[in-house]
Amino acid sequence: MSGMSVTLEDFELDIADYLWAESERLGQTDVVAFLLAPGPIASQNKAIRNILSRLEDDADVSESVTNWLLPRMTKTIESYVKLHGPAPEAPLFGGSSAWRKAYRD
């Protein structure tokens, strides 16, 4: 019997694309601008991790962008976990040391 492992990383572009579409649909122009600042969603490598890093590191990100994105990202990731369960080796669920170790360039 063989199996397939699905990790959150496999869905990063889908999640980022959903956030972009939802922000456009709801007229959140500041969020749209933030999400597209690095370029088109389809060309963004490690999209969700980069969004989180930018939210954390960029002092110029408005509170409205943060307040709009974080609850939606949380809900989306929690839905993923309920559906697929966290893979113990998945860096997004392994804490900061796993994150740094797995995603060094």
Kindly report each contact of residues 99-104 with a partner whose C-beta sits within 8 Å and lies 24 or more positions away, as own/partner.
99/49, 103/46, 103/49
Judge whether 33 lies within some domain: yes
Domain count, the chain: 1
The number of helices, as runs of H, and strands, as runs of E, in the chain is 5, 0
Structural domain span for residue 25: 8-102
Global confidence as pTM: 0.71
Which of 19-28, 45-54, 92-101 has the highest average model confidence (pLDDT)? 19-28
Burial class of residue 22, CB neighbours in 10 A (0-12, 13-18, 19+) = middle
Q: Residue 96's pLDDT band (boundaries 50, 70, 90)?
A: very low
Using the 8-state DSSP alphabet, how is residue 100 labeled?
Answer: H
Judge whether 1 lies within some domain: no
> For position 86, what pLDDT does the model report?
56
pLDDT in tens, 51-65: 999 999 988 999 999
Judge whether 2 lies within some domain: no
> For position 34, what pLDDT does the model report?
97
Cα 5 to chain centroid distance, Å, stands at 19
Nearest to 30 by CA among 74, 75, 60: 60
